Structure formats: structure tokens, C-alpha cells
Amino acid sequence: MAGPGDDDEHDPILDDSIEAEAKTQTCVGGGSGERDMAPSAPGPSIHRSGSRPQLDLSKAEIQGNFEERDPTILLPNQSDDISHLALDIGGSLIKLLYFSRHEEDYSNDDDKRKRTIKERLGITNGNLRSYPVLGGRLHFVKFETHKINECLDFIHSKQLHRRDPYPWSSKTLPLGTGVIKVTGGGAYKFADLFKERLGVSIEKEDEMHCLVSGANFLLKAIRHEAFTHMEAEKEFVQIDPNDLYPYLLVNVGSGVSIIKVDGEGKFERVSGTNVGGGTYWGLGKLLTKCKSFDELLELSQKGDNSTIDMLVGDIYGGMDYSKIGLSASTIASSFGKAISENKELEDYRPEDISLSLLRMISYNIGQISYLNALRFGLKRIFFGGFFIRGHAYTMDTISFAVHFWSKGEMQAMFLRHEGFLGALGAFMSYEKHGLDDLMSHQLVERFPMGAPYTGGNIHGPPLGDLNEKISWMEKFVRRGTEITAPVPMTPSKTTGLGGFDVPSSRGSPLRSDASALNIGVLHFVPTLEVFPLLADPKTYEPNTIDLSDQGEREYWLKVLSEHLPDLVDTAVASEGGTEDAKRRGDAFARAFSAHLARLMEEPAAYGKLGLANLLELREECLREFQFVDAYRSIKQRENEASLAVLPDLLEELDSMNEEARLLTLIEGVLAANIFDWGSRACVDLYRKGTIIEIYRMSRNKMQRPWRVDDFDAFKERMLGTGGKQPHRHKRALLFVDNSGADVILGMLPLAREFLRRGTEVVLVANSLPALNDVTAMELPDIVAGAAKHCDILRRAAEMGGLLVDAMVNPGDGSKKDSTSAPLMVVENGCGSPCIDLRQVSSELAAAAKDADLVILEGMGRALHTNFNAQFKCESLKLAMVKNQRLADKLIKGNIYDCVCRYEPPSVSQM
């Protein structure tokens, strides 16, 4: 998979150690420094911003020995960025969409583990190439139309216009031959300007067609794209892509178009109204002297429409007209009070006028939409267009109208990417954009810091490389709210809630900027798949704890916030504690605090929020500031210490009978799971003793019954009862957690037991580092270290292709006997302490095909996520609870309680 962590621009912190194949990019993000660049002199050698080339650090791999002072790092994914571009030029905003692709070079696949696992599991390069989509990223950028030159500069600086518009092609076009797909009214208006400045022609795409194909794409490909908005509460709605049509799409621009969508390219404009955003803004401008749409909206927040609107209560002397279901506060006549009172325009507050207008128009749109949905029997109404703009009150009033008129039977829904429907559609109109068959599991959304263009706001400089990001974060802290960012927020001041702000705006949840949803960068990862062993992928929810509960949310945000200083120290230390590392560390801390503050204020800002997303966000943020592996040295140290005591442990185990050994192994897994740098309680523990001491103490304290204890059932499955020998498992997938004792003294001995019984074992580990979790890249070395002391492991590792440097000849069949099974390692596709089994690597999906046992280990993978996951095969969830609140919540127990949950295959309900 393409690494989820990297952004376009990276800092060559690791210059000296980068292999030559890591090419640098030819262009950089349009920093303000490039504005002065003569547009008439583009050419391929656009000057670089500073001296920092950009690198793709995804799948960065340390080459060679860990002991080396400055190990070489491989950047297999670094190559020329290939970009494609589409625009939607509206009256007030330009929406730009560009796709960047990092070509993966499969032929240069010198990762032995990967190659072996592919052979082993029957994944061939041919298979991979047959995927319809190549990996890449979709970036969403906004400009104000009257600042079109900024947009042109941006395109120019990224050389987006020089690309062959077709994503599979890497050709750079000669000047004057390019074609860009554009929709929106400005497509005609600015055609000459594009030709003149960029030398490209504009190909105009039908607006409505673009709108519909954009909406179809989003609703099918993004899991939590649609949401409802009632009384300031957002709720994401998961829509079954197979049950999407027909739906009603209401585009509220200057006017309103109401479109019935029946399928891909099948739609009809069934209605509309001339009372739309233009009416709000036009009338509002005449009545209030506001200079901008946003100003007018802002005004409405403070308004009271009852001073101008005639309410039912005004007519009936304060009473409801309950006979026909009208409450006293229902608007009987918009602006109706302006009739009878002898007031002039100046006597009314502009705030009240703005609100009255907003409610009049929103209700009307909601009502007409509802009537049309009713007419065609449509269940779903999606609203989009510039009038909505993620504005909470607008969404609330439209939702209210639909709810009111439909008596609660219909819901108004909104789209997170609604501003980009047209641009997306224009992108899709390229003959072969390759996004047709994209599935939601192949999309990952990231929220890099310092990309103001990509968010709901359009102020501030475009932040390109790391240096800019860092200085922006520094400036941000100094100037507070002046800079609008993907994480709009109040100035940073530490409060009782541990490092981030308690939102001051709780009382007024309708602040417009607070309600704006963030749009991240969409990563297309064609190699991601749904984990095939999930019993029912449709109902699967990875997160165990519901963070839509405010108490839970506040607690976990606080935990993350409190853990931040330690993490920053560790991260900075991992980079040698240099000044540069410190600076990046500070920037990371600020950026991540900003994310937390944003989420505190607006939990739905980044889509549906779960603990898994939150933990992943932290790892992504670390990677963004180029902390490739903050726990690298800690992991290394612990691995060494654990490997040193492994022989003793194995000897101890081998001296036991089968039954005692199985119990000791499970106890060992649970005991070793105490070594977790993600847990605050455990970090404190580490400071009190050595690994082995803690491990032994922990194991000795294992008193059955555990808090969740299915050991007997598991034992019966493994060893049988009454002399009956149960059939052995064919293949077990072991999802491992932490480095050090956890994997070496806990999971490896368990794996060895399965191997000894002839069961194939696949160790499933992270693709990218997260805390001290072991990664798939580190595991072969660990296994090799363990194999030195154990024949069983050595043989199995050889068969699994893990001992690439071993003296044994892998082709020597004489070594294999019928009972020996291979030990393999696959990456899970994640870079987070949790795992969302809807998006796993193709390797893991392939490995799952023959598996009949899934073992999930550790808090992140077995408790925070997947505690309630049902599998088609047997499953065993093992973890020690290292958080009191989670213990309370999940198992009504205490910190350090253990969970051993064994479940037979789930009987499918379908």
C-alpha cells in the first residue's frame, strides 16, 4: 500500500541517509515566494523553494542493521508526482481538485519478506496490476474567484497544467497542448485567461452532470460522507452504495436546482426555485449593507427574527393555533411585522433582518424539496451548494423544514465535500479517471496541518513544505485566531482540560466557522481490502467506545492531551534531540493540540469520530512533522532485552505438560501485554523496574478467573476433552501489538505452540510505526533473533521466507516434514495502534483466506477496536486493560484486569 502518512512535501531531514533512488520532486507548493515568478517563463526547471526537496517517506525502510548509527532509509514510493486537475469556477469561489499519484514500482520490489509472502499467498504482481485504480491522493483546494490569479499561480507552481489529464499517463505535455476540465459559469469567462497564463485550453463540462456524478462518487466511495444536522447536532449516516438510488439532490446556489438522481449519469432536473442563495445574499445586501455573504451569515447568528416576522402568536394573541398544528413561534408571515409598524429600514437591526431572510429562504427550500421528494417517493434528500457551506444554522433550518413538513418521515442530509461536487464531477469527466470502481475501503482521508486551502476556509498562505508548516504553527500560536486554518480555534492557552482549550463557544453552538467541516486529502489506496473474515462487514463498527458521547469524548481527548508531553520528548529524542527535532516537536505538539481543540469544539469536524481515528490522527500528525518512528530506540532496546531472556522462557515452557503449557502461554501473552507505551499507567511502571522483573511479576499475578475468561473453552478446542483429539487449526492469524516483551515473550511463544501443532501462523503487524507497536518490517529481524534459540521457530521462519539471510537453502525440500508449518509475517495496512478491519492490506486479505483462527492481542486491536467484532472463523481476543475507565466501561472491572475472549465462528445472520 501507499503509505498513508506522507504528504506531498517532505523535508529531507534524513538527507545523508537517503538512497539515490529517492528522487526529488521538481516543483513545490505555491509558496508566496513564487508569486513573482514570470508566468511567461515556466519550463521544466521551475525553481525550488529553498533547498528542500520533497520525499515520499511512505514505507520508508531502514536498510541494514539497527545498530548502525545512521542507518540507510529506503523510500520505495518516492518518484515523480503525477498530477491531474479539474476546476469548478463559480461566481464567488473556485474549487480546484487535483490528483497526485506516487507511482509504485513493483519491479523494484526488493523487500524479500514481501516477495516471499506474495509467492506464498499467491499474490502476484499481475494481480496487483489488475486493480482498476492506482494509488494516489485527491486534494481539495478553494480560491476566491476574484483572486483568480492566486489560483493560476497555484496551478503553475504545482505544474498541474502540464500533466497529461489522464491519470494513468505520466507524460508531461508540451506547452499549449493541455486541456483542463472545468465546470461552472466561469468556465467560459476565464477561458482566455487560462490560455494566456498557463497555455491550456478549457474543456467546459455540463454543470448539472458534474454535480450529479460528483455526488454519486462521494456517496458511494466515502463511508461517512452524508450527515444529518438537527438542532446543531451532526450525525453521520452510512449509506449502502447498493441502495443509493433514487435520491433527490438539491443544489442551492444562486438559485436552486432540484434533481432526481436515478443512477450513474441518469438524472433529471425535476424542479427548482428562484428563491435561493442569490436571493438571500442579494436581498441581504440591499437591506443590511453587508459586504460579503459570510458577513451576512455571521450577522444572522446574533439575530432575532421575531422582531420582523409575524409569528402565529402575534396573530392569535400569543396563543398557538393548535387546531392546525401551528405553534405560537411558527412564522406566519416572513417580514409580516414590517407591514404594520411605522418603522423604516434603519429602525431594524441588520442581524434580525439577516436571520429573518435566512429562515424564510431555508424553510422555503426545505419545503419545496420535501414536496418534490414526496412526489417521486424518494427517501433521501441531499442538500448542497454554496448557500449551505457547512453553515450550521442554514442546515438546521432546512432540516427543520423537511422534518416539519414530512412529520419526521424524511431527513435532510448534507455532504461533507458538498462544495466540491462540481469539481469532482469535472474530474470524473476525464475519459478514464480510474475512479469509477473505487470502493470506500480503498479510501483513507488524512487531515494534514497547514493546508488552509484544503479546508473550509480560504485564507492564509498555502503551506507546502515542512518548514512552512512549522513556521506557520509558530506564527499561529502567536497570533491566535487571526490565521484561519483547517483547525480554526481560539488562541492556545492551557486550561484545566490538559493542554487544549475548553471551547468558550459552548453557549453558542452555531458559530459559523466552528461548524465548518474540514475536508482532508483523500488517499486512494487500491490495495486496501475489507478483511474477508468479518462476519458482516455492513454492520461492523471498529470502535468499541462511542465518542459521540460527550463524557467519553472529553475523557479520551484529555488522555491524549496529557500524554502529549511524553510523546514529544520521546519523538524528539528519537531524532537525536537536535535543534531541528525540537522545533519539529514543538510544531507537532501545537498541531496536534490544535486538532484536539478542534475536535473538542466540533467532534464531527473530520467526519465520524472514533478512538481509532483519533489515535491514527496522532500518528499521522507525527509523521507529518517527520517523526518517522518516535519509539525506534525504545523498541530496539526492549527487543534486545526480551530476546535475551527468551531461551529461558522457552525452556521453562518445554518442561511443562501440554495443559499447563497452554495456560502459561496465554498467561504470558496477557502478562507481556503490560508493556505498552500507549498507556500512561504502564509508562510509569517502566520507570520502576526491568522488563523481566515486570514481566515475571505480572505473570505471577495472573490469577484466574480473569475478568473475561473463556480459557476453558479455548483449551477444550485446542486439546479436546475425553481423549478426543480435536482437529488442528489450519492457519492462525496473530495480530500482534507492542514490540519487546509483548511480542517476544508473549505472542512468539504462542505462535511457536501453534507451529508445533502443525498450524500455519501468520503474524499480522502494522505497516507503519505507531507508538511502540511492532511493525511488519521489524518482525523478520525479531523472528530471526528468536530463531537462533529455537529449532521450531527457525524451521517455520525458513519456510515462511523470513530468514532470507540464513544459510539454509529455502529450496531444500528435505528439511520439510509433513507436520511442519510455515511462520509468515504480513502487514495489516495500518499505521495506528487500532485496526479498522474494513481497510486492511491485500496481503492480509490474502492470508486470511485459509485462516480458521484469528487472535487479536492488545488494547488497541482487541478492546478499543474489535472487542465486539464477529468473525466467520474462531477468534480469540487477548488483552490486559491498562486504563481504569475502559475497564469500568467495558468489563466492569479494574485496571490490569485481563480479557480472554474466545468465540466460535459467528453464524451469519444473512
Partner 1 sequence: MDPKNSRFSTQISHLALDIGGTLIKLVYFSPNGDNCEGGSIVVGNGCSVVQGRLCFAKFETRKIDDCLDFIRFNILQHSGVQHTNGTARDKLSVKATGGGAFKFADLFKEKLGIVFDKEDEMHSLVCGVNFLLKTVPREAFTYLDGQKEFVQIDHNDLYPYLLVNIGSGVSMIKVDGDGKYERISGTSLGGGTFLGLGKLLTNCKSFDELLELSHQGNNRVIDMLVGDIYGGTDYSKIGLSSTAIASSFGKAISDGKELEDYQPEDVARSLLRMISNNIGQIAYLNALRFGLKRIFFGGFFIRGLEYTMDTISVAVHFWSRGEAKAMFLRHEGFLGALGAFTSYKDQSHSTELKPHHHTVERAVLKCSDDDSFRHTPVTANVNDGEAIECSINLV
* Binds partner 1 (CB under 8 A): choice among 98, 363, 472, 871: 363
DSSP one-letter code for 885: H
Cβ count within 10 A of residue 653: 17
Residue 405 touching partner 1 (CB under 8 A): yes
CB of 405 to partner 1, least distance (A): 7
Kindly indicate which of the ranges 304-312, 697-705, 836-844, 855-863 contains the residues binding partner 1, using the contact rule CB under 8 A. Answer: 304-312
Residue 254 touching partner 1 (CB under 8 A): yes
Q: Which is nearer to partner 1, 387 or 754 (CB)?
A: 387
Residue 38 touching partner 1 (CB under 8 A): no
CB of 832 to partner 1, least distance (A): 45
CB of 19 to partner 1, least distance (A): 54
* Binds partner 1 (CB under 8 A): choice among 332, 458, 641, 681: 332
Number of alpha carbons in the 13 Å side-chain half-sphere of residue 180: 37
CB of 349 to partner 1, least distance (A): 12
CB of 54 to partner 1, least distance (A): 40
CB of 361 to partner 1, least distance (A): 9
CB of 353 to partner 1, least distance (A): 8
The three cell numbers locating residue 850:
485459509
Kindly indicate which of the ranges 339-347, 602-610, 677-685, 886-894 contains the residues binding partner 1, using the contact rule CB under 8 A. Answer: 339-347
Residue 344 touching partner 1 (CB under 8 A): yes
Instruction: Give Cα separations from 800 to 121, 803, 825 (angstroms).
Output: 10, 8, 8
* Binds partner 1 (CB under 8 A): choice among 38, 339, 907, 910: 339
DSSP secondary structure of 438-481: --GGGEEEE--SS-GGGSS---SPPP-SHHHHHHHHHHHHHHGG
Residue 375 touching partner 1 (CB under 8 A): yes
* Binds partner 1 (CB under 8 A): choice among 122, 126, 317, 408: 317
The answer to whether 201 and 106 are in contact (CB under 8 A) is no
Distance CA 495, CA 351 (A): 33
CB of 230 to partner 1, least distance (A): 20
Instruction: Give Cα separations from 279 to 254, 357, 365 (angstroms).
Output: 7, 9, 12
The residue count of the chain comes to 910
Alpha-helical runs (H) found in 544-610: 550-574, 579-601
Residue 910 touching partner 1 (CB under 8 A): no
In the chain, what's the furthest Cα-to-Cα distance?
A: 104
Which residue, among 259, 264, 266, 517, has the nearest Cα to 382 in the 3D structure?
259
Distance CA 868, CA 224 (A): 21
Q: Which is nearer to partner 1, 27 or 360 (CB)?
A: 360
Q: Cis peptide before 833, with omega less than 30 degrees from 0?
A: no
The three cell numbers locating residue 243:
441502495
Kindly indicate which of the ranges 302-310, 461-469, 485-493, 778-786 contains the residues binding partner 1, using the contact rule CB under 8 A. Answer: 302-310
Q: How many residues bind partner 1 (CB under 8 A)?
A: 57
Angle between helices 632-654 and 691-700 (to 10 degrees): 50
CB of 558 to partner 1, least distance (A): 45
CB of 157 to partner 1, least distance (A): 29
The answer to whether 630 and 833 are in contact (CB under 8 A) is no
Residue 367 touching partner 1 (CB under 8 A): yes
CB of 151 to partner 1, least distance (A): 19
Kindly indicate which of the ranges 361-369, 618-626, 701-709, 856-864 contains the residues binding partner 1, using the contact rule CB under 8 A. Answer: 361-369
* Binds partner 1 (CB under 8 A): choice among 185, 246, 810, 905: 185
CB of 276 to partner 1, least distance (A): 5
Kindly indicate which of the ranges 316-324, 415-423, 592-600, 868-876 contains the residues binding partner 1, using the contact rule CB under 8 A. Answer: 316-324
Q: Which is nearer to partner 1, 364 or 626 (CB)?
A: 364
Q: Which is nearer to partner 1, 69 or 291 (CB)?
A: 291
* Binds partner 1 (CB under 8 A): choice among 287, 497, 510, 683: 287
CB of 878 to partner 1, least distance (A): 59
Residue 394 touching partner 1 (CB under 8 A): no
* Binds partner 1 (CB under 8 A): choice among 65, 340, 725, 909: 340
Distance CA 542, CA 448 (A): 23
Pairing mode, if any, of strands 840-841 and 61-63?
A: unpaired
At position 718, the amino acid (one-letter code) is M
Residue list 187-206, contact with partner 1 (CB under 8 A):
188, 206
Residue 655 touching partner 1 (CB under 8 A): no
Residue 285 touching partner 1 (CB under 8 A): yes
Which residue, among 847, 904, 848, 906, has the nearest Cα to 874 in the 3D structure?
904
Give the sign of the dihedral formed by CA 34, CA 35, CA 37, CA 42: positive
Distance CA 178, CA 156 (A): 13
What is the four-CA torsion angle of 348, 354, 357, 359, rounded to 10 degrees? -120
Q: Give Rg (Cα) of the chain.
A: 29
Residue 660 touching partner 1 (CB under 8 A): no
Residue 489 touching partner 1 (CB under 8 A): no
Q: Which is nearer to partner 1, 389 or 661 (CB)?
A: 389
The answer to whether 833 and 770 are in contact (CB under 8 A) is yes
* Binds partner 1 (CB under 8 A): choice among 208, 443, 745, 876: 208
DSSP secondary structure of 758-825: T-EEEEEEBSS--TTB-BTTTHHHHHHHHHTT-HHHHHHHHHTT--TT-SS-TT-GGG--TT---EEE
Q: Which is nearer to partner 1, 208 or 899 (CB)?
A: 208
Instruction: Give Cα separations from 374 to 266, 371, 701 (angstroms).
Output: 19, 5, 64
Q: Is 425 in a helix, a strand, or coil?
A: helix
Residue list 84-143, contact with partner 1 (CB under 8 A):
91
Distance CA 598, CA 607 (A): 12
The three cell numbers locating residue 800:
515462511
Residue 250 touching partner 1 (CB under 8 A): no
Burial class (CB in 10 A: 0-12, 13-18, 19+), 885: middle
Kindly indicate which of the ranges 120-128, 342-350, 669-677, 863-871 contains the residues binding partner 1, using the contact rule CB under 8 A. Answer: 342-350
Residue 281 touching partner 1 (CB under 8 A): yes
- Could you give phi then psi for residue 249, rounded to 5 degrees? -110, 120
Residue 371 touching partner 1 (CB under 8 A): yes
Q: Which is nearer to partner 1, 336 or 498 (CB)?
A: 336
Kindly indicate which of the ranges 272-280, 673-681, 821-829, 859-867 contains the residues binding partner 1, using the contact rule CB under 8 A. Answer: 272-280
Residue 69 touching partner 1 (CB under 8 A): no
At position 411, the amino acid (one-letter code) is Q
Distance CA 639, CA 650 (A): 16
Residue 498 touching partner 1 (CB under 8 A): no
The three cell numbers locating residue 714:
479455548
Kindly indicate which of the ranges 165-173, 271-279, 465-473, 747-755 contains the residues binding partner 1, using the contact rule CB under 8 A. Answer: 271-279
Residue 393 touching partner 1 (CB under 8 A): no
* Binds partner 1 (CB under 8 A): choice among 348, 393, 627, 695: 348
CB of 268 to partner 1, least distance (A): 8
* Binds partner 1 (CB under 8 A): choice among 140, 217, 335, 382: 335
Binding site for partner 1 (CB under 8 A): 91, 185, 188, 206, 208, 253-255, 257, 269, 271, 273-279, 281-283, 285-287, 289, 308-310, 315-317, 323-324, 331-340, 344-345, 348, 353, 360, 363-364, 367-368, 371-372, 374-375, 405
